[in-house]
Amino acid sequence: MRLHLQIWRQENPSASGNLVKYTLDDVSEDSSFLEMLDLLNEQLVGKGEVPVVFDHDCREGICGSCGVMINGLAHGPSARTATCQLHMRTFKDGDTIQIEPWRSAAFPVIRDLMVDRSSMDRIVQAGGFISVRTGSAPEANLIPVPKGDSDEAFDAAACIGCGACVAQCPNGAAQLFTAAKVGHLNILPQGRPERYERAAGMVAQMEAESFGSCSNYRECEAVCPKGISVDWIARMNRDFLVARLKGIQGKTA
Amino acid sequence: MIPAGPLADKWTNHRDHLKLVSPANRRKFKIIVVGSGLAGGAAAASFGEMGYNVECFCYQDSPRRAHSIAAQGGINAAKNYRNDGDSIWRLFYDTIKGGDFRSREANVYRLAEVSMEIIDQAVAQGVPFAREYGGLLDNRSFGGAQVARTFYSRGQTGQQLLLGAYQALARQIAAGTVKMYPRTEMLDLVVEKNRARGIVIRDLITGQVRSHAAHTVVLATGGYSNVYNLSTNAIGCNTTAIWRAYRRGALFANPSFGQIHPTCIPQAGEHQSKLTLMSESLRNDGRIWVPVKTDETRAADQIPENERDYFLERKYPAFGNLVPRDVASRNAKTVVDQGRGVGPMKNGVYLDFADAMKRLGRDTIEERYGNLIEMYQRITGEDAYSTPMRIFPAPHYTMGGLWVDYNLMSTIDGLFVIGEANFSDHGANRLGASALMQGLADGYFIAPYTVANYLSAHLGEEVSASSDPFSRTEDEVRQRTGKLLAANGTRTVDSFHRELGRIVWDECGMERNAKGIHHALIKIPALRDQYHKNVRVPGRGAELNQELERAGRVADYFDLAELMCRDALSRDESCGCHFRSEHQTDEGEALRHDDQFSYVAAWEYAGDGQEPRMHKEELSFEFVEPSQRSYK
Ligand SMILES: Cc1cc2nc3c(=O)[nH]c(=O)nc-3n(C[C@H](O)[C@H](O)[C@H](O)COP(=O)(O)OP(=O)(O)OC[C@H]3O[C@@H](n4cnc5c(N)ncnc54)[C@H](O)[C@@H]3O)c2cc1C
Ligand code: SF4
Ligand code: FES
């Protein structure tokens, strides 16, 4: 099929970018969205032009590297799908597709469609772990964990750290990501001892970065490729509140 | 070099006598860890906790994205929670037998031994393994085993284990013991008088080339299946780090031992950039079959039972669909070659859940494999609950890698290699759910001891990146990237990679023979010459340049492909995944020649255009008797 692409090109973080138009022919329906970009890039290189820069690695929806705004939607039109899992059969011959990077103050554009998401790593560094040294763990079956809790912890832990939630949020808030990280550990008995320090620290770090605040638009949940529920945000807020009442200050990274 | 004594005591005795570094001295040592996957992430976090001064590198934008994240099926451990007769011995025996007796007894035994601590550690970190209703850990059985010893997290075991290691790493980054360098690629190793001194890297954002010095360098850079172009590995997986170390004097062991995974989605067309694995846990409940007739045209549900060939169940009644990967893969290839393949390109075999759904109910199947079935639907547009999946083998894992001793140190003093990047534990074939185990064993429970032992002899030494070998190595790196940019030819890097991949797949893939390998040994250097003359890499070196990154990786794959072929040629027997069609039993199984080939082939670089030298590490089996594998 033939596609009309409008792609954000920006040379470096301080340059001003703009949308550039390309027409791409012979795109196979069976190819993935990123394979469509590969095809464009092969043609650009063939013509001696500079290919479009974008992040990607696993190409199976698990590493969280990829992610672009496709016609204004983070990861594009299909539900629970990372950009790399989107297939071109979702589009029609003759479609116009606008492709832009994640837009958020906390994710500066590095080049073209590639952004800097290190702010998310710093949130994890501010308490998104259980403090257990290698070698000091008790026998694995010593602490039973109710299956329900364990399954719920898994639901939260399924977050791939892609940042789509932030990109789609009108405020650029990172609540869904942070809540998933807090929730995964806080629900497990192993994570209980640091429960409030964790919530306090990660929320404080989130606020120290350039993320916006949450006004319950729920757009994050709609675009999340792993279906992380906004219910986790309420749980995080509860833990954060308790931390505050107890006077627990989290440590930022 | 392998500690003496009874098998079960070797590691304990050895560990008891390794030298230590006192807590007060640890921060005086600088350790470089290249890689942040299960092996590198676990090692860097553990070194940090112990108080060393660690620098950790990865090419992705975050250490959490290392390719370990993609592992689906699970991780083995000899916990015997099922009371089904599992033990350290059995896990050891299954692993060494699965490897077709081409690995070291002592290493494999140690792996089985520490497997239990890994599960303890992961659970304490909050890894949400599947549990039973009583709240205790669940297990399942996995390819090549008759006991249920595999721990799993739905279809995301790799992501969950990696998040455990990543979180431990994040804690150390916050504590200041680990400095993380994401978006950074190691392009060379700095060696002075056969001692590893540091690495030369390229900052992938600025393109800056610079050096980092340390007391020891640990490589945890993963596998090289992307030499085939199409594989289940992430696009960025590369051989560059270990290949450069090889060129600086580290021996490369068994380079041609690569595993072809039986359960991947068949290729759909030329445009494809990678192949997707469906966890082989699917083989627990899915039955594999093809039509009896060649050129069958009916849809799967129209083919009656008596016209289906459940070829694995038929040929291997004891193990059925759970035979080891190499056996499953080769048999799938055989039936496809016979013209009995299924799907539009007739390049797959069916994996059918119909019986399991009748027996267990759709809900159970959905709970066990829901995300895999969803993934399949997304890629193929087909619903595996109502029609059988189509699968076919794809390159997946490389057992070969840098040669290491029992301490996981290469032949370069102070260069350690862990995880998939080394050759150590899987022989000629790796059992399912044992790579995660090995990466974490190396990273959490072996390297922390053996690296300390090495460092203890180097207290008080200064490290600095300003000496001669550093600037010389940096210059060589700049020249190399400069040459790729200067070729300014007419073909893209990807087009060369596709062509190279095809050659290696055809001649040094699932089945090899001398004639084919000889061909490949002519074709590869010819194509490589073309590559260096005619590749087109736009842009500059001193900037973000993804084409240049790819070009460097493919250049190294060309050289590696040649070494793989030499290795495959010189091993004139079949074993595990290395199936030389000249050497098979009457039943078409791999036929080993233990009298001649019971060794590890460790290759030494001898200069460009020179034949590499092969060293043999003879394998001796004191505790097990190498048997002809039989899964009948
Ligand atoms: C799809 C798939 C499914 C799998 N499923 C299973 C399973 O169910 N069970 C199992 O046991 N095993 C499984 N495996 C195998 C297993 O996942 C891997 O062997 C293992 O995770 C490798 O871990 P590692 O730490 O050695 O390397 P990786 O996780 O690959 O990490 C490599 C690290 O090195 C870095 N790196 C690489 N090159 C450079 C460079 N030049 N410069 C700087 N950094 C570099 C990367 O950034 C990354 O951080 C699977 C593999 C695949 C591909
Ligand atoms: S919560 Fe969802 S959208 Fe946000 S980072 Fe995690 S996976 Fe991505
Ligand atoms: S490339 Fe890994 S999630 Fe898309």
Q: Are B438 and B426 in contact (CB under 8 A)?
A: yes
Residue B589 has pLDDT above 90, yes or no: no
What would the CATH number be for the domain defined by B262-395? 3.90.700.10
> Minimum mean pLDDT among B126-140, B237-251, B259-273: which range?
B259-273
Cα(B201) to ligand 3 centroid in Å equals 24
Residues paired with B491 in a beta bridge: B535
Q: Is the confidence at residue B631, as pLDDT, over 80?
A: no
Instruction: Check CB contact of B494 with chain A, cutoff 8 Å.
Output: yes
The full set of domain ranges for chain B reads 262-395, 468-595
Cα separation, B169 vs A128, in Å, equals 11
Angle between helices A175-186 and A118-125 (to 10 degrees): 30
Q: Which residues contact B101 (CB under 8 A, 6 or more apart)?
A: B427, B575, B592, B594, B598, B619, B621, B624, B626, B627
Chain A environment of B494 (Cβ under 8 Å): 38, 42
**Residue-level pLDDT at B227:** 98
Q: At what angle do helices A147-157 and B157-175 cross, to 10 degrees?
A: 70
What's the rounded Cα separation, in Å, for the pair B289 and B312?
8
For residue range B86-133, list pLDDT tens digits in order.
999 999 999 999 899 999 999 999 999 999 999 999 999 999 999 999
* Chain A residues touching residue B117 (CB < 8 angstroms): 135, 137
Instruction: Say how many C-beta atoms besides its own lie within 10 A of residue B469's C-beta.
Output: 18
DSSP β-bridge partners for residue B189: B199
Question: Which of A35, A116, A144 has the CB atom closest to B272's CB atom?
Answer: A35
CB atoms within 10 A of CB B102: 29
pTM above 0.90, yes or no: yes
CATH number of B468-595: 1.20.58.100
C-beta of residue B470 within 8 angstroms of C-beta of residue B211: yes
Mutate to test the interface with B, among A63, A75, A185, A251 (most CBs of B within 10 A): A63
**Which ligand sits closest to the CA of B33?**
1
Taking the CA atoms of B427, B138, A82 and B59 in sequence, report the sign of the dihedral they define. negative
Query: With the CA atoms of B626, B627, B630 and B631 taken in that order, what torsion angle do they form, in degrees rounded to the nearest 10?
Result: -40
Integer distance in angstroms from the first to the last C-alpha of chain A? 48
In Å, how far is B196's CA from the nearest CA of chain A?
26
Q: Is A59 in the pocket of ligand 3 (CB under 6 A)?
A: yes
User: CB neighbours of B471 closer than 8 A, spacing ≥ 6?
Assistant: none
Residue B587 has pLDDT above 80, yes or no: no
Q: How many angstroms separate the CA of residue A18 from the nearest CA in chain B?
A: 19
Ligand nearest to the CA of A180: 2
pLDDT tens digits along A186-230: 999 999 999 999 999 999 999 999 999 999 999 999 999 999 999
Distance CA(B269)–CA(B25), nearest Å, equals 57
How remote is the CA of residue A58 from the centroid of ligand 3, in Å?
Answer: 5
Which of the four CATH numbers 1.20.140.10, 3.40.440.10, 3.40.1190.20, 1.10.1060.10 does domain A117-245 have? 1.10.1060.10
Q: Provide DSSP, A82-95.
A: -GGG-BGGGS-TT-
Residue B586, pLDDT score:
80
Question: What's residue B279's pLDDT?
Answer: 80
Two tokens, residue B150: 């595999």
What ranges do the domains of chain A cover?
Answer: 3-111, 117-245
* Backbone torsions φ then ψ of A6, nearest 5 degrees: -125, 110
Q: What is the DSSP letter of B79?
A: -
Residue in chain A closest to B490 (alpha carbons) equals: A46
Cα of B117 vs its chain's centroid, Å: 22
| More confident: B407 or B330 | B407
Structural Rg of chain B based on CA atoms = 24
Tens-digit pLDDT profile for residues B412-462: 999 999 999 999 999 999 998 999 999 999 999 999 999 999 999 999 999
Structural contact between residues A9 and A20, judged by C-beta atoms closer than 8 angstroms: yes
Can you say whether residue A217 is alpha, beta or left, with left for phi > 0 and alpha for psi between -120 and 50 degrees?
alpha
Task: For domain A3-111, give the CATH number.
Answer: 3.10.20.30
B545 within 8 A of B539, measured Cβ to Cβ: yes
B39-61 mean pLDDT: 98
Q: Which two tokens stand for residue A238?
A: 């509860």
pLDDT recorded at residue B628: 80
